[in-house]
Protein backbone atom coordinates (compact mmCIF):
# COMPACT_ATOMS: atom_id res chain seq x y z
CA UNK A 1 0.00 0.00 0.00
CA UNK A 2 1.33 3.44 -0.88
CA UNK A 3 1.68 5.93 1.99
CA UNK A 4 1.70 9.67 2.42
CA UNK A 5 4.90 10.36 4.34
CA UNK A 6 6.06 13.51 6.11
CA UNK A 7 9.79 13.70 6.83
CA UNK A 8 11.05 16.17 9.43
CA UNK A 9 14.67 17.04 8.59
CA UNK A 10 16.38 17.32 5.21
CA UNK A 11 19.95 16.39 6.10
CA UNK A 12 21.58 13.47 4.30
CA UNK A 13 19.40 11.00 6.25
CA UNK A 14 16.02 12.66 5.62
CA UNK A 15 16.91 13.26 1.95
CA UNK A 16 18.10 9.69 1.38
CA UNK A 17 14.90 8.37 3.01
CA UNK A 18 12.82 10.68 0.80
CA UNK A 19 14.63 9.45 -2.31
CA UNK A 20 14.08 5.78 -1.47
CA UNK A 21 10.40 6.31 -0.57
CA UNK A 22 9.74 8.25 -3.79
CA UNK A 23 11.48 5.50 -5.79
CA UNK A 24 9.06 3.03 -4.23
CA UNK A 25 6.07 5.18 -5.21
CA UNK A 26 5.18 6.84 -1.87
CA UNK A 27 4.16 10.50 -1.62
CA UNK A 28 6.64 12.54 0.41
CA UNK A 29 6.67 15.97 2.05
CA UNK A 30 10.00 17.23 3.43
CA UNK A 31 9.92 19.74 6.29
CA UNK A 32 13.11 21.61 7.27
CA UNK A 33 13.75 25.30 8.06
CA UNK A 34 17.31 25.07 6.63
CA UNK A 35 17.75 21.96 4.47
CA UNK A 36 21.26 20.50 4.38
CA UNK A 37 22.66 22.88 6.99
CA UNK A 38 23.22 20.42 9.86
CA UNK A 39 25.97 17.87 10.51
CA UNK A 40 25.78 16.75 6.88
CA UNK A 41 27.22 20.15 5.91
CA UNK A 42 30.27 19.58 8.12
CA UNK A 43 30.97 15.88 7.52
CA UNK A 44 34.23 14.79 5.95
CA UNK A 45 32.51 12.02 3.98
CA UNK A 46 34.66 9.03 4.87
CA UNK A 47 32.74 5.86 3.99
CA UNK A 48 34.91 3.90 6.31
CA UNK A 49 33.45 1.26 8.61
CA UNK A 50 37.01 -0.07 9.12
CA UNK A 51 38.84 3.22 9.68
CA UNK A 52 36.21 4.31 12.19
CA UNK A 53 35.99 0.98 14.04
CA UNK A 54 36.21 1.49 17.80
CA UNK A 55 36.32 -1.11 20.59
CA UNK A 56 32.84 -2.23 21.60
CA UNK A 57 31.27 -1.14 18.29
CA UNK A 58 31.15 -4.46 16.44
CA UNK A 59 27.44 -4.17 15.60
CA UNK A 60 27.94 -0.70 14.19
CA UNK A 61 30.77 -2.07 12.06
CA UNK A 62 28.44 -4.70 10.56
CA UNK A 63 25.80 -2.08 9.64
CA UNK A 64 28.55 0.20 8.31
CA UNK A 65 29.91 -2.57 6.08
CA UNK A 66 26.38 -3.30 4.78
CA UNK A 67 25.85 0.36 3.94
CA UNK A 68 29.32 0.75 2.40
CA UNK A 69 28.36 -2.00 -0.05
CA UNK A 70 25.28 0.03 -1.10
CA UNK A 71 27.25 3.22 -1.79
CA UNK A 72 28.46 2.51 -5.36
CA UNK A 73 24.86 2.09 -6.63
CA UNK A 74 23.58 4.99 -4.53
CA UNK A 75 26.34 7.29 -5.85
CA UNK A 76 25.76 6.16 -9.43
CA UNK A 77 22.05 6.94 -9.14
CA UNK A 78 22.89 10.45 -7.91
CA UNK A 79 25.73 10.84 -10.42
CA UNK A 80 28.11 11.68 -7.57
CA UNK A 81 31.77 10.59 -7.76
CA UNK A 82 33.31 8.31 -5.11
CA UNK A 83 37.02 8.43 -4.33
CA UNK A 84 38.47 4.95 -4.34
CA UNK A 85 42.13 5.54 -3.44
CA UNK A 86 41.67 4.18 0.07
CA UNK A 87 42.92 5.25 3.47
CA UNK A 88 46.43 5.29 4.88
CA UNK A 89 46.91 5.05 8.63
CA UNK A 90 50.10 6.97 9.44
CA UNK A 91 52.17 7.23 12.62
CA UNK A 92 54.60 10.00 13.45
CA UNK A 93 56.37 8.33 16.37
CA UNK A 94 56.62 4.89 17.95
CA UNK A 95 53.82 5.60 20.41
CA UNK A 96 51.63 6.53 17.44
CA UNK A 97 52.66 3.34 15.68
CA UNK A 98 51.28 1.36 18.63
CA UNK A 99 47.90 3.00 17.90
CA UNK A 100 48.12 1.90 14.25
CA UNK A 101 48.99 -1.65 15.31
CA UNK A 102 46.14 -1.69 17.85
CA UNK A 103 43.72 -0.56 15.12
CA UNK A 104 45.07 -3.28 12.77
CA UNK A 105 44.57 -5.90 15.52
CA UNK A 106 41.02 -4.72 16.17
CA UNK A 107 40.29 -4.90 12.44
CA UNK A 108 41.79 -8.40 12.20
CA UNK A 109 39.35 -9.51 14.92
CA UNK A 110 36.59 -8.36 12.51
CA UNK A 111 38.15 -10.22 9.56
CA UNK A 112 39.47 -7.04 7.94
CA UNK A 113 43.11 -7.04 6.86
CA UNK A 114 44.89 -3.72 7.21
CA UNK A 115 47.99 -4.07 5.06
CA UNK A 116 50.86 -2.98 7.30
CA UNK A 117 53.33 -0.57 5.70
CA UNK A 118 56.96 0.10 6.60
CA UNK A 119 58.07 3.74 6.58
CA UNK A 120 59.47 3.61 3.02
CA UNK A 121 56.37 1.86 1.65
CA UNK A 122 54.16 4.50 3.27
CA UNK A 123 56.24 7.35 1.82
CA UNK A 124 56.27 5.74 -1.63
CA UNK A 125 52.45 5.67 -1.60
CA UNK A 126 52.11 9.16 -0.14
CA UNK A 127 55.21 11.28 -0.78
CA UNK A 128 53.60 14.32 0.87
CA UNK A 129 53.77 12.72 4.33
CA UNK A 130 56.45 13.97 6.71
CA UNK A 131 59.75 12.10 6.34
CA UNK A 132 59.52 11.58 10.12
CA UNK A 133 56.69 9.03 9.80
CA UNK A 134 57.68 5.65 11.24
CA UNK A 135 55.12 3.39 9.54
CA UNK A 136 51.44 2.74 8.98
CA UNK A 137 48.82 0.63 7.25
CA UNK A 138 46.49 0.74 4.28
CA UNK A 139 42.70 0.22 4.23
CA UNK A 140 40.62 -0.19 1.08
CA UNK A 141 37.72 2.19 1.58
CA UNK A 142 36.06 5.15 -0.11
CA UNK A 143 35.10 8.76 0.47
CA UNK A 144 32.52 11.14 -0.97
CA UNK A 145 31.79 14.86 -0.67
CA UNK A 146 28.62 15.01 1.49
CA UNK A 147 27.82 18.54 0.28
CA UNK A 148 27.75 17.25 -3.29
CA UNK A 149 25.53 14.33 -2.21
CA UNK A 150 23.07 16.62 -0.41
CA UNK A 151 22.94 18.98 -3.40
CA UNK A 152 22.36 16.04 -5.79
CA UNK A 153 19.57 14.64 -3.61
CA UNK A 154 17.89 18.04 -3.34
CA UNK A 155 18.06 18.51 -7.12
CA UNK A 156 16.69 15.03 -7.75
CA UNK A 157 13.83 15.50 -5.28
CA UNK A 158 12.94 19.08 -6.24
CA UNK A 159 10.20 18.11 -8.67
CA UNK A 160 9.15 14.90 -6.85
CA UNK A 161 8.43 15.97 -3.26
CA UNK A 162 6.81 18.92 -1.58
CA UNK A 163 9.37 20.90 0.45
CA UNK A 164 8.21 23.04 3.37
CA UNK A 165 10.93 25.34 4.71
CA UNK A 166 9.77 25.51 8.35
CA UNK A 167 10.43 23.73 11.63
CA UNK A 168 8.13 20.77 12.28
CA UNK A 169 7.16 19.05 15.51
CA UNK A 170 5.18 16.05 16.61
CA UNK A 171 2.12 17.63 18.09
CA UNK A 172 -1.23 18.24 16.48
CA UNK A 173 -1.23 18.72 12.74
CA UNK A 174 2.37 17.74 12.11
CA UNK A 175 1.73 14.32 13.51
CA UNK A 176 -1.11 12.84 11.48
CA UNK A 177 -3.50 15.23 9.78
CA UNK A 178 -2.53 15.02 6.11
CA UNK A 179 -0.23 12.02 6.07
CA UNK A 180 -0.01 8.41 7.26
CA UNK A 181 3.52 8.36 8.65
CA UNK A 182 5.95 10.91 10.10
CA UNK A 183 9.68 10.22 9.89
CA UNK A 184 11.83 12.16 12.32
CA UNK A 185 15.27 12.78 10.78
CA UNK A 186 16.26 15.94 12.60
CA UNK A 187 19.82 14.87 13.49
CA UNK A 188 21.05 16.06 16.88
CA UNK A 189 17.84 17.99 17.64
CA UNK A 190 15.06 15.47 18.23
CA UNK A 191 11.63 16.78 19.20
CA UNK A 192 10.03 15.66 22.49
CA UNK A 193 9.51 12.97 23.66
CA UNK A 194 12.66 11.69 21.91
CA UNK A 195 14.95 14.60 22.73
CA UNK A 196 16.78 12.71 25.49
CA UNK A 197 17.75 9.92 23.10
CA UNK A 198 20.45 11.95 21.38
CA UNK A 199 23.31 13.94 22.82
CA UNK A 200 25.20 16.60 20.86
CA UNK A 201 28.87 15.74 20.27
CA UNK A 202 30.55 18.77 18.78
CA UNK A 203 32.88 18.22 15.84
CA UNK A 204 35.09 21.04 14.56
CA UNK A 205 36.47 20.64 11.06
CA UNK A 206 38.57 22.71 8.66
CA UNK A 207 38.65 23.01 4.87
CA UNK A 208 41.74 24.17 2.99
CA UNK A 209 42.66 24.37 -0.70
CA UNK A 210 45.92 22.81 -1.78
CA UNK A 211 47.84 22.45 -5.02
CA UNK A 212 49.72 19.57 -3.39
CA UNK A 213 46.96 17.51 -1.72
CA UNK A 214 47.45 14.01 -0.32
CA UNK A 215 46.52 11.23 -2.76
CA UNK A 216 44.73 9.13 -0.11
CA UNK A 217 42.60 9.82 2.91
CA UNK A 218 45.14 10.03 5.72
CA UNK A 219 44.14 9.01 9.24
CA UNK A 220 47.11 9.88 11.37
CA UNK A 221 48.42 9.99 14.89
CA UNK A 222 50.81 12.89 15.46
CA UNK A 223 52.47 12.55 18.89
CA UNK A 224 49.24 11.17 20.36
CA UNK A 225 46.87 13.59 18.60
CA UNK A 226 44.49 11.97 16.11
CA UNK A 227 43.73 13.81 12.89
CA UNK A 228 42.50 13.01 9.39
CA UNK A 229 42.85 14.68 6.00
CA UNK A 230 40.37 13.82 3.25
CA UNK A 231 41.24 15.10 -0.25
CA UNK A 232 38.60 15.91 -2.84
CA UNK A 233 39.22 15.67 -6.56
CA UNK A 234 41.34 18.59 -7.83
CA UNK A 235 39.95 21.21 -10.23
CA UNK A 236 42.42 23.34 -12.18
CA UNK A 237 45.20 21.81 -10.10
CA UNK A 238 43.73 22.76 -6.72
CA UNK A 239 41.92 20.37 -4.36
CA UNK A 240 39.92 20.89 -1.22
CA UNK A 241 41.36 18.97 1.73
CA UNK A 242 39.14 18.42 4.76
CA UNK A 243 41.00 18.29 8.07
CA UNK A 244 39.14 16.95 11.09
CA UNK A 245 37.83 16.54 13.56
CA UNK A 246 37.50 17.38 17.23
CA UNK A 247 34.99 15.52 19.38
CA UNK A 248 33.50 17.04 22.50
CA UNK A 249 30.33 16.41 24.49
CA UNK A 250 28.91 19.82 25.33
CA UNK A 251 25.78 21.81 26.05
CA UNK A 252 26.60 25.04 24.20
CA UNK A 253 26.20 26.05 20.56
CA UNK A 254 28.39 24.14 18.07
CA UNK A 255 31.02 26.78 17.31
CA UNK A 256 34.54 26.34 15.95
CA UNK A 257 37.03 27.36 18.64
CA UNK A 258 40.55 28.75 18.27
CA UNK A 259 41.91 25.89 20.40
CA UNK A 260 40.16 23.16 18.42
CA UNK A 261 41.09 24.53 15.01
CA UNK A 262 44.73 25.14 15.93
CA UNK A 263 45.13 21.63 17.37
CA UNK A 264 43.75 20.12 14.16
CA UNK A 265 45.95 22.24 11.90
CA UNK A 266 49.09 21.67 14.02
CA UNK A 267 48.64 17.89 13.87
CA UNK A 268 47.79 17.89 10.17
CA UNK A 269 50.84 20.03 9.30
CA UNK A 270 53.11 17.74 11.31
CA UNK A 271 51.92 14.77 9.28
CA UNK A 272 51.57 16.52 5.89
CA UNK A 273 54.00 19.47 5.90
CA UNK A 274 52.89 20.69 2.45
CA UNK A 275 49.60 21.82 4.01
CA UNK A 276 51.55 24.85 5.28
CA UNK A 277 51.19 26.33 1.80
CA UNK A 278 47.47 25.54 1.51
CA UNK A 279 44.89 28.32 1.41
CA UNK A 280 42.65 28.40 4.49
CA UNK A 281 39.01 28.12 3.36
CA UNK A 282 36.70 27.39 6.27
CA UNK A 283 36.40 26.27 9.88
CA UNK A 284 32.98 25.12 11.08
CA UNK A 285 31.46 23.00 13.81
CA UNK A 286 28.31 20.91 13.97
CA UNK A 287 26.85 18.48 16.47
CA UNK A 288 27.04 14.77 15.76
CA UNK A 289 23.88 13.07 17.01
CA UNK A 290 25.18 10.53 19.57
CA UNK A 291 22.91 7.91 21.19
CA UNK A 292 23.37 6.09 24.53
CA UNK A 293 24.85 3.02 22.74
CA UNK A 294 26.25 4.90 19.70
CA UNK A 295 23.97 2.92 17.35
CA UNK A 296 21.40 4.84 15.30
CA UNK A 297 17.67 4.92 15.99
CA UNK A 298 15.91 3.52 12.93
CA UNK A 299 12.35 2.25 13.09
CA UNK A 300 8.94 2.59 14.68
CA UNK A 301 8.37 4.21 18.06
CA UNK A 302 5.74 4.04 20.80
CA UNK A 303 3.97 6.95 19.07
CA UNK A 304 1.67 5.54 16.42
CA UNK A 305 2.73 6.52 12.91
CA UNK A 306 6.06 8.02 14.03
CA UNK A 307 9.34 6.49 12.81
CA UNK A 308 12.81 7.65 13.84
CA UNK A 309 15.77 7.88 11.44
CA UNK A 310 18.23 9.62 13.71
CA UNK A 311 21.21 9.31 16.04
CA UNK A 312 23.76 8.42 13.35
CA UNK A 313 26.62 9.93 15.38
CA UNK A 314 29.96 9.64 13.48
CA UNK A 315 28.51 7.57 10.61
CA UNK A 316 25.50 9.30 9.08
CA UNK A 317 27.02 9.70 5.63
CA UNK A 318 28.19 6.10 5.53
CA UNK A 319 24.84 4.81 6.85
CA UNK A 320 22.55 6.95 4.65
CA UNK A 321 21.72 4.37 1.92
CA UNK A 322 21.13 1.55 4.40
CA UNK A 323 18.99 3.77 6.64
CA UNK A 324 16.89 4.78 3.63
CA UNK A 325 16.21 1.14 2.77
CA UNK A 326 15.42 0.22 6.39
CA UNK A 327 13.04 3.17 6.78
CA UNK A 328 11.22 2.34 3.54
CA UNK A 329 10.99 -1.34 4.64
CA UNK A 330 9.58 -0.19 7.98
CA UNK A 331 6.95 1.95 6.23
CA UNK A 332 5.96 -0.91 3.92
CA UNK A 333 6.20 -4.01 6.10
CA UNK A 334 6.96 -2.95 9.68
CA UNK A 335 10.36 -4.67 9.47
CA UNK A 336 12.91 -3.36 11.97
CA UNK A 337 16.50 -4.34 12.76
CA UNK A 338 16.35 -5.17 16.51
CA UNK A 339 19.75 -3.55 17.22
CA UNK A 340 18.55 -0.24 15.74
CA UNK A 341 14.96 -0.35 17.03
CA UNK A 342 14.35 2.96 18.86
CA UNK A 343 12.14 1.06 21.32
CA UNK A 344 15.28 -0.66 22.71
CA UNK A 345 15.35 2.32 25.06
CA UNK A 346 12.33 1.74 27.25
CA UNK A 347 10.54 4.63 28.85
CA UNK A 348 12.40 3.79 32.11
CA UNK A 349 15.70 4.32 30.27
CA UNK A 350 14.49 7.67 29.05
CA UNK A 351 13.67 8.62 32.64
CA UNK A 352 17.07 7.55 33.88
CA UNK A 353 18.74 9.37 31.00
CA UNK A 354 16.85 12.42 32.05
CA UNK A 355 18.07 11.94 35.60
CA UNK A 356 21.72 11.52 34.63
CA UNK A 357 21.78 14.49 32.30
CA UNK A 358 19.75 16.86 34.48
Stretch that binds ligand FAD, among 28-36, 103-111, 125-133, 273-281 (CB under 6 A): 28-36
Residue 45 binds ligand FAD, judged by CB under 6 A: yes
Rounded CA separation 188/196 (Å): 10
Angle (deg, nearest 10), helices 146-157 and 58-78:
60
Min. distance of Cβ 214 from ligand FAD in angstroms? 15
Are 199 and 249 in contact by the 8 Å Cβ rule? The answer is yes
DSSP state of 83: B
Min. distance of Cβ 164 from ligand FAD in angstroms? 9
Residue 229 binds ligand FAD, judged by CB under 6 A: no
Query: Of 97 and 184, which CB lies nearer to ligand FAD in the complex structure?
Result: 184
Rounded CA separation 266/303 (Å): 48
Residue 164 binds ligand FAD, judged by CB under 6 A: no
SS3 state of residue 235: strand
Selected from 65, 167, 238, 339, the binder of ligand FAD by CB under 6 A is 167
Min. distance of Cβ 228 from ligand FAD in angstroms? 8
Query: Of 97 and 245, which CB lies nearer to ligand FAD in the complex structure?
Result: 245
Residue 214 binds ligand FAD, judged by CB under 6 A: no
For the chain, how many residues are written? 358
Work out the angle at residue 20's Cα, subtended by the Cα atoms of residues 334 and 242, and round it to the nearest 5 degrees: 120
Q: What is the DSSP string of 124-169?
A: HH-TTS-TT--EEEEE--EE--HHHHHHHHHHHHTTTSEEE-S---
Selected from 288, 290, 326, 342, the binder of ligand FAD by CB under 6 A is 288
Residue 31 binds ligand FAD, judged by CB under 6 A: yes
Selected from 21, 43, 324, 327, the binder of ligand FAD by CB under 6 A is 43
Ramachandran class of 211: left when φ > 0, alpha when ψ lies in -120 to 50, beta otherwise: alpha
Are 185 and 323 in contact by the 8 Å Cβ rule? The answer is no
Stretch 240-259 residues interacting with ligand FAD (CB under 6 A)? 244-245
Selected from 42, 112, 227, 308, the binder of ligand FAD by CB under 6 A is 42
Min. distance of Cβ 169 from ligand FAD in angstroms? 6
SS3 state of residue 310: strand
Selected from 316, 321, 328, 340, the binder of ligand FAD by CB under 6 A is 316
Handedness of CA 256, 258, 264, 265 (dihedral sign): positive
Stretch that binds ligand FAD, among 121-129, 186-194, 261-269, 273-281 (CB under 6 A): 186-194
Selected from 5, 6, 8, 28, the binder of ligand FAD by CB under 6 A is 8
Query: Of 135 and 187, which CB lies nearer to ligand FAD in the complex structure?
Result: 187
Min. distance of Cβ 120 from ligand FAD in angstroms? 29
Residue 203 binds ligand FAD, judged by CB under 6 A: yes
Min. distance of Cβ 20 from ligand FAD in angstroms? 14
Residue 297 binds ligand FAD, judged by CB under 6 A: no
- Helix H segments across 219-343? 258-271, 316-333
Query: Of 10 and 133, which CB lies nearer to ligand FAD in the complex structure?
Result: 10
Residue 199 binds ligand FAD, judged by CB under 6 A: no
Which helix (H) or strand (E) is 67 found in, with range? helix 58-78
Handedness of CA 75, 76, 78, 80 (dihedral sign): positive
CA distances from 343 to 26, 57, 204, 299, 309 (A): 25, 19, 31, 8, 13
Min. distance of Cβ 160 from ligand FAD in angstroms? 19
Are 41 and 147 in contact by the 8 Å Cβ rule? The answer is yes
Q: Which positions lie near ligand FAD, rule CB under 6 A? A: 8-14, 31-40, 42-46, 167-169, 185-189, 191, 203, 205, 244-245, 286, 288-289, 310, 312-318
Amino acid sequence: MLSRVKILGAGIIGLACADELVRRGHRVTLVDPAPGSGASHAAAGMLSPAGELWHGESELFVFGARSAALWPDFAARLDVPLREEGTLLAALDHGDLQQVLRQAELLASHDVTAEQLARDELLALEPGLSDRVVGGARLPDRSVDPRVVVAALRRRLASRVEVVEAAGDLDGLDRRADHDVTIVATGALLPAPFDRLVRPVRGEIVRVRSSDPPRHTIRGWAHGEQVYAVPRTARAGVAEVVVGATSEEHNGPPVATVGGVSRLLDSARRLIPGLDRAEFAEAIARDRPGTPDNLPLVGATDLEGVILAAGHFRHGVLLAPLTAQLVADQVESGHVEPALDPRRFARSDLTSLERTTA
